[in-house]
Structure 1
Amino acid sequence: MSLPRPRQLLLVSLLAGGLTMALKTLAWYLTGSVGFLSDAMESLVNVAGAGFALWMVTIASRPADKGHPFGHSKAEYFSAAFEGGMIFIAALAIFITAAERLLNPQPIAALGFGTLLTVLASVINLGVGLLLIRGGKAYQSPALEGDGKHLLTDVWTTAGVVIGVGLAAFSGLHWLDALVAMLVALHILREGSLILAKAVNGLMDQALPEAQVQQLTARLAELSASARAAYTNDTQALAADQLCFLRLRTRAAATQAFAQADLQVPGNWTVTQAHQLADSAEQQAATLGIQLTLHIEPAAPAQPNPAS
């Protein structure tokens, strides 16, 4: 079954986020648990993050223009940075609320129904999170993958909240409720740091994954070997360093992949010959989803063998 497009996946995430936030907020209202409140506040971050990610993916999908000749794909990294920032704000709010409740513990009411609502919300997050991660890998989208990983983190957070709130209710140690909320805040702070780090790395033009670079290198090596084999010369065979691809450099820009290399050809080749080989290389790279740019250089004349 084919995956929906990135914008459709983020719309699903946005709708699911709104539903889970409503369920968790109702759970907090019914129980009065600050642990459930912290879980509801993280869901608010999910909704804000999904909405901002949808906006950034819409911008990223715009074609290249005069002001952005390489496209707008890096807009997706702003989504990750925004979501990381929202997490920090939510964690601060949770800490403040939990500190007040720690000083003034209160009993938890209607735990059963409130827990049921929270678990239902968590199941929704689990399904949508797995779908987003799958879509993120398929479309090479940091916005989708980041949103999906955040939802899965939310699932584990909810599990911890349910256990902690249950212990607080059944043991009568109501301060455990506030402690659980503080642990949730620390947990999502860590998640926010990871999301921000990934956004910063993306904006710094990281190289393509090693597996993708190796694929491209192998394709270029095959192409140059084939071109050397097809080349005929009355005096001597063409040496490997007379026709080859050199100094390969790659960079990732969200869903787009770029590469640059030097194409070294015999000095007596015509522009047409060099251009045909460069076109073939660029087409091979395109099958791997990489936009390859080549700089053509003449090779130094082959040195005669002194022993001949």
Structure 2
Amino acid sequence: MTEFETAARQAEAQGQAHKATLMRRATYASVSVAGILIVVKLAAWLLTGSVAMLSTLIDSLLDAFASLVNLFAVRQALTPPDREHRFGHGKAEPLAALAQAAFITGSAIFLLVEAGKRLYAPQPVASSDIGIGVMIFSIVLTLILVRYQRFVVRRTDSLAISADSLHYAGDVLVNIAVIVALVIVSQFDLLWVDPAFALGIAAYIVWNAWQIARGAMDMLMDRELEPEERQIIKDIVLAHPDVLSLHELKTRAAGPQKFIQLHIEMSGAMSLWRAHVVSDTVEAELQAAFPDAEILIHQDPFGIEEESSAVR
């Protein structure tokens, strides 16, 4: 192994360790925030009796569950490959995201039922000022968490952290909606507004669940990387003067890790040693662009794909 390859491997290992630390910290932060919000929202709901407040309490319970699932999923996903899981444990993340989506949908249905009951038999909302204060506190705390989560996602591409961040970003809108509902009910005595807002929040929760489930299914079904990323791969490979063509490009992602495999075509007169050097150089350049990727390159003499197609 050359000094360049050794340095690249060391830099990759350090980068992965840093990302693992960021992901763990993000899961601890989200669990802590969810716990705090559950306590304050439970107290506010008991004092106000608002079904809109109940809706945001349920949403925080969902976030706590999702954050706990993420905590264990991220720990599992970061476990190094072993004899039984040679490609690692990255798919623990989309599995956790699917569990979140299912739980969120069930809770949204419960909220729809409760809001429907209140629409049929409206009830007054008490101590709305307390509820508004709790919502403002929730918004500030949630915005701090979302900002940190997005910082982590930009550096790790973690699906589980991204899904968790989506929950909490939605919470900001939910909390604003609850404030509006409490103000309208307290100022204009329109009791139907409280359950109406709860219905809207429930619909928003279901939409979030669908977004999470769709992203998880894409990863579990080994969907290709985005076209922009595939084009970057092609540009890097074909930029090497000894690479005449490429084919059989296949990509997928499992949690924060990406998998890239392809065939590169070079002159048939090239020595095996030179072909190996070219392949290693291309791999190192791809690794620099995709630090978390596992890359597999097969070397072919130029024109072999056309010959194979002609035989078939």
TM-score (norm 2): 0.85
Is 1:16 aligned to 2:28, yes or no?
Answer: no
Relative distance call for 1:298 and 1:176 in structure 2 (3 A) is same
Name 1:169's counterpart in structure 2. Answer: 186
Correspondence 1:260-279 to 2 at 5 A: 260-279=261-280
2:270 counterpart SS class: coil
Is 1:40 aligned to 2:57, yes or no?
Answer: yes
User: Which has the higher mean CA deviation after the structures are superposed, 47-56 or 179-188?
Assistant: 179-188
Name 1:111's counterpart in structure 2. Answer: 128
Is the helix fraction higher in 1 or 2? Answer: 2
User: Which has the higher mean CA deviation after the structures are superposed, 259-268 or 108-117?
Assistant: 259-268
In structure 2, stretches of 5+ residues that fail to align are: 1-17, 305-312
1:247 counterpart SS class: strand
Measure the CA separation in 2 of the matches of 1:249 and 1:47.
37
In structure 1, stretches of 5+ residues that fail to align are: 229-242, 302-308
Residue type of the alignment partner of 1:279? D
Name 1:55's counterpart in structure 2. Answer: 72
Give the conservation status (yes or no) of the 8 Å contact 1:131–1:148: no
Residue type of the alignment partner of 2:187? F
2:239 counterpart SS class: helix
The CA deviation at 1:146 is 1.2
2:229 counterpart SS class: helix
Residue type of the alignment partner of 1:39? T
> RMSD value over aligned CA atoms?
1.9
Name 1:67's counterpart in structure 2. Answer: 84
For residues 134-179 of structure 1, the C-alpha deviation after alignment (integer angstroms, 9 at most, x for no partner) is 2112101011111111101111011111101221222122122122
The CA deviation at 1:295 is 1.7
Residue type of the alignment partner of 1:64? P
Name 2:283's counterpart in structure 1. Answer: 282
Out of 217, 220, 243, the position equivalent to 2:237 is 220
Out of 293, 297, 308, the position equivalent to 1:294 is 297
Measure the CA separation in 1 of the matches of 2:210 and 2:302.
49
Residue type of the alignment partner of 2:263? D
The CA deviation at 1:38 is 0.6
Structure with max Cα Rg: 1
The count of residues paired between Structure 1 and Structure 2 equals: 284
Relative distance call for 1:274 and 1:101 in structure 2 (3 A) is same
Measure the CA separation in 2 of the matches of 1:300 and 1:33.
71
Give the conservation status (yes or no) of the 8 Å contact 1:141–1:255: yes
Is 1:5 aligned to 2:6, yes or no?
Answer: no
Give the conservation status (yes or no) of the 8 Å contact 2:219–2:252: no
User: Which has the higher mean CA deviation after the structures are superposed, 49-58 or 245-254?
Assistant: 245-254
2:89 counterpart SS class: coil
Give the conservation status (yes or no) of the 8 Å contact 1:45–1:87: yes
Correspondence 1:174-193 to 2 at 5 A: 174-193=191-210
Measure the CA separation in 1 of the matches of 2:127 and 2:264.
71
Out of 13, 28, 49, the position equivalent to 2:45 is 28
Out of 71, 79, 89, the position equivalent to 2:106 is 89
Of all paired residues, the percent bearing the same amino acid is: 27
Residue type of the alignment partner of 1:295? H
Name 2:10's counterpart in structure 1. Answer: none
Residue type of the alignment partner of 2:279? A
Give the conservation status (yes or no) of the 8 Å contact 1:49–1:147: yes
